[in-house]
Amino acid sequence: MEATEHKNFIEQIIDSHNESGRFQKRVHTRFPPEPNGYLHIGHAKSICLNFGLAQKYNGKCNLRFDDTNPETEDVEYVESIRNDVRWLGFQWDGEFFASDYFDQLYQWAEQLIMKGKAYVDDQSAEQIAATRGTPTVPGKESPFRNRSVEENLDLFRRMKAGEFEEGSRVLRAKIDMSSPNMHMRDPVLYRIKKARHHRTGDRWCIYPMYDFAHGLCDSIEGITHSICTLEFEVHRPLYDWLIEQLGIYHPQQIEFARLNLSYTVMSKRKLLELVEGKYVNSWDDPRLPTISGLRRRGYTPAAIRHFADKIGVAKRDNIIDVALLEFCIREDLNKIAPRTMAVLRPLKVVITNYPEGQTEEVSALINPEMPQLGSRLVPFGREIYIEQDDFMENPPKGYFRLTPGGEVRLKYAYIIRCEEVIKDAAGNITELRCIYFPESKSGSDTSGKKVKGTIHWVAAHEAASAEVRLYDRLFTIPDLSDIPEGKDWKDFINPHSLEVIPDAKIEKNMLQASIGSIWQFERLGYFCTDPDTNKSNKLVFNRTVTLKDTWAKAH
């Protein structure tokens, strides 16, 4: 382990426990998602933290599904969560469900009743909310607060037996209605929900509240450090109170700042709204910050882990610039993505002095960052495609690409000069006639020519078509927590977050690219083959990220 000064505050707490012997030097964390949506990059932060601590301290980490809200949860989500955690590179020690513990939790609720520490309240949710008071004004005690243990037990058992309507009764802890901490003002522990649970079916019609279940599940599993986000700091007294009342094993809850990312939303509720409202195509839409969306976009587990590491653990909420996430993926893909050339908006170039019927192959490194991978051969011929915006008829000063009469280098190949611009009846440029200089070939250039620009290209005789999807920020403002009055967060969805290029030109050998493989299209960015490739019988690529940050300049 590193020296203390490099440790984050959670590691320092663990070290102090190891010194005092509080947990017999054990470290056992858990990642506790509620299976009510797909995981996002914020969860990835929590996963890397919890599994990372277990690895560092030679401990364990459980995957626990916090499934106490039957209406919103589903097995589809359970499976996607398992898949995402594994994909990020982690294997859990135990896999548990809060619902596995419903019997034990129920027993503990009865114990609290028997100790006079919990009561059945017949007030409605509205009445309970109205009598809670405010942080500065004490709440009012419920008229049902001083029921006898026998009556409470009887009512709670009948709640469990399904005798009462939803919303007609709850079980509350009996703590302190004038506590300065609102969470200690007789919090609700159980409510009636006549809903089918994805695992326990119709066996239960009362379900524990998160605050009741969470710490007790931690206790059952022997968790040492229960790491959660900052908003649960004010719940910690209740976490501790329940465990102390029951006299059971006591984990330590530790809070850290949740990850917020600029230009996106992270709450599952909002993500669900985007999916269901068809603002995006699916949970794995490459524009979403979901783990499945990032994967489809071309993010690698290593880049996400690196990002989680770089942002560290903070004690105060902040917004991380999404540019940092993009930096991490660029850094990773630069090392691992093979290079190829593709042309998004093709303009045909005919090299008039290149012999008709002749072709050749020019050599390029697979990845200049990894010269040991060797070279690839790129087909070249008389007709090629270049990008439309690599040619300008009336160029501004400082434009070093192709112009009428101007010269430019075709990457890995020859220098060409534009001799003629062909246009259609409407005046659109349809083709360029150029000449090439045979002695200017890259690697053996004896032409003595100096050109300032180098552009990419694809040989027409070896070109295939592909659909390319270019993505931009999903929102137009960086901080979605700061919506002006009278506006909805969805008003700030970027209408140009997806641009589809229907007919880009790629090298024919790219037709072999497997789904999910990631490439650098030279000068254009990193691109990942999309699963829609199979559906559409045509290669579909998602741009993961551009080579350089163009956002800051353009907006």
Catalytic residues: 34, 258, 268
Cα distance between residue 177 and residue 142, in whole Å: 9
Contact window for Mg ion (CB under 5 A) among 33-41, 92-100, 253-261, 451-459: 33-41
Q: Are 442 and 451 in contact (CB under 8 A)?
A: no
| Interaction of residue 236 with ligand ATP, rule CB under 6 A | no
| Interaction of residue 550 with ligand ATP, rule CB under 6 A | no
Residues 6+ away with beta carbon under 8 Å from 347: 385, 386, 387, 388, 390, 391, 429, 431, 432
Rounded to 10 deg, the angle between the 102-114 and 210-221 helix axes is 110
Q: Among 363, 405, 406, 359, which Cα is nearest to 383's?
A: 359
| Interaction of residue 229 with ligand ATP, rule CB under 6 A | yes
- How many C-beta atoms surround the C-beta of residue 499 within 10 A? 12
Cα distance between residue 487 and residue 491, in whole Å: 7
| Interaction of residue 198 with ligand ATP, rule CB under 6 A | no
| Interaction of residue 465 with ligand ATP, rule CB under 6 A | no
- Of 67 and 186, nearer to ligand ATP (C-beta) is 67
* Binds 267: which of ligand ATP, Mg ion, none (CB < 5-8 Å by kind): ligand ATP
- The count of residues interacting with ligand ATP (CB under 6 A) is 15
Residues 66-105 that bind ligand ATP (CB under 6 A): 66
Residue nearest to ligand ATP (CB): 42
Rg (CA), the chain: 31
Encoding tokens for residue 184? Answer: 């200690």
Encoding tokens for residue 393? Answer: 């008829």
- How many C-beta atoms surround the C-beta of residue 427 within 10 A? 6
CB of 181 to ligand ATP, least distance (A): 20
* Binds 69: which of ligand ATP, Mg ion, none (CB < 5-8 Å by kind): none
**Sequence letter at residue 88:** L
Residues 6+ away with beta carbon under 8 Å from 246: 108, 111, 112, 216
- Of 213 and 524, nearer to ligand ATP (C-beta) is 213
| Interaction of residue 64 with ligand ATP, rule CB under 6 A | no
Encoding tokens for residue 80? Answer: 């996607």
DSSP bridge pairs for 339: 520
- Of 305 and 339, nearer to ligand ATP (C-beta) is 305
Residues 264-283 that bind ligand ATP (CB under 6 A): 266-268
Interface residue with Mg ion, options 7, 8, 26, 34 (CB under 5 A): 34
Cα distance between residue 174 and residue 494, in whole Å: 49
* Binds 306: which of Mg ion, ligand ATP, none (CB < 5-8 Å by kind): none
Residues 10-49 that bind ligand ATP (CB under 6 A): 32-34, 42-43, 45-46
Interface residue with ligand ATP, options 28, 147, 185, 258 (CB under 6 A): 258
Burial 355-374 (b: 16+ CB within 10 A, else e): eeeeeeebebebbeeeeeee
| Interaction of residue 419 with Mg ion, rule CB under 5 A | no
* Binds 266: which of Mg ion, ligand ATP, none (CB < 5-8 Å by kind): ligand ATP
CB of 62 to ligand ATP, least distance (A): 12
| Interaction site with ligand ATP (CB under 6 A) | 32-34, 42-43, 45-46, 66, 228-229, 258-259, 266-268
| Interaction site with Mg ion (CB under 5 A) | 34
